[in-house]
Structure 1
Amino acid sequence: MRVLGIDPGSRVTGFAVVEARGAALHPIGFGVIRPAAGEMAGRLAEIFAGVARVVAELRPEALAIESVFLARNAQSALKLGQARGAAICAAAQAGLPVFEYAPRAVKLAVVGSGRAHKAQVQHMMRQILRIDEPLAADAADALAVAVCHSHTQQTQGYASRRLTRVQEAAR
């Protein structure tokens, strides 16, 4: 399964596509979308177009995105929500199912601590996915969201198969 992870932002949106082959995860592509400075509507259009391009080129089967967290600044939270909306709309237009994860849950899944720093997430993504090159913080966060979703899906699949076996044995 290929998962598109998104770390939304109105100035920089990180994206990453990770493919699960059995228990192994492989990065297919990752980077950032940097809209030109200017009006918010134009930046949102660029985020939408950038995510649509990634979906068309890398063909993910699902979108995993960070949910909005409480920000100290209401304007920042609003802009983040709008960037998320642009990314979600691009994925939904392509027919992808959308899954949301809290930033703390993503960090917990990939680092082992919900309070991990960006540098720790970058380090773990380079280790888990065997990436030699430096990672932009937003691309690393997008990789982490995709990895979190992949692990969640694998765990749910395992639990479902196990339950089925237990139910069949009880008959």
Structure 2
Amino acid sequence: MRILGIDPGYAIMGYGILDYNGNRFRTVDYGSIETEAHTPMPQRLNQLFDGLNEVIQKYQPEEASIEELFFNSNTTTAIKVGEARGVALLACERNGLRVSEYTPLQIKQALVGYGRAEKKQVQNMVKVILNLKEVPKPDDTADAVAAAICHAHSRNNRVIG
């Protein structure tokens, strides 16, 4: 099964493509789609949609995993990230992908075994599980790969559409 992991963001949207067969992972690709600061939001959303659509078309994943939003205070940022998340969901839907969503706590639990793990612990587990030489950069990319790994282990319980 080929899984697309997505960490939604409007400045940086991370993605990771993994093949998962049995209990084995194969890293296909990972990276990020970035937009320039001070670009009008409609243009940024269009760039994110086009970029993610390109990734989906190129790698043909069967399912997608996206991180749910978690914000403590900044509602303006939360709204913008929510808009980027909506664009990611739309790109997945338009390409016929089954989409599942996971909270940051669920992703940490799946990778580290502890829902309150530090970001560095999760990143290190991404590196170890996939036998990578280094942690994927930027952090958004590592988070997207972590979402894909989480989905591989939890997919039967989390499909939303």
On whether the aligned pair clears a TM of 0.5, the verdict is yes
Structure 1, unaligned stretches of length 5 or more? 157-171
Q: Deviations over 1:23-68 (max 9, x none)?
A: 1011111011111221111111111111101101111001110112
Q: Is the contact made by 1:18 and 1:27 (CA closer than 8 Å) also made in structure 2? A: yes
Q: Secondary structure at the match of 2:76?
A: helix
Q: Which residue of 2 aligns with 1:24?
A: 24
Partner of residue 131, structure 1: 132
Question: CA contact under 8 A between 1:7 and 1:145: conserved in structure 2?
Answer: yes
Aligned to 1:69: 70
Task: Report the alpha carbon displacement of residue 130 of structure 1 after superposing the two structures with TM.
Answer: 0.6
Q: Which residue of 2 aligns with 1:49?
A: 50
Hey, what does 1:140 align to over in structure 2? 142
User: Which residues in structure 2 correspond to 1:92-131 (within 5 Å)?
Assistant: 92-131=93-132
Higher relative contact order (CA 8 A, sep 6+): 2
Q: How many residues get paired?
A: 155
Runs of 4+ deviating beyond 4 Å: none
Identity of aligned pairs, percent?
41
> For residues 111 and 91 of structure 2, what CA distance do their matches in structure 1 show?
26
Is contact 1:63–1:97 with CA below 8 Å preserved after alignment?
yes
Matched residues in 1 for 2:114 and 2:104: separation? 11
Question: Is 2:69 the counterpart of 1:83?
Answer: no
Structure with larger Rg: 1
C-alpha distance in structure 1 between counterparts of 2:72 and 2:63, whole Å:
27
User: Are the counterparts in 2 of residues 71 and 77 from structure 1 also a CA contact under 8 Å?
Assistant: no
Report the equivalent of 1:34.
34
Higher helix share: 1
The equivalent of 2:2 in structure 1 is: 2
Does the residue aligned with 1:113 lie in a helix, a strand or coil? coil
The residue type equivalent to 2:27 in the other structure is P
Q: Deviations over 1:44-93 (max 9, x none)?
A: 11111111011011110011101122331111111111110111111110
The SS at the match of 1:82 is: helix
TM-score (norm 2): 0.91
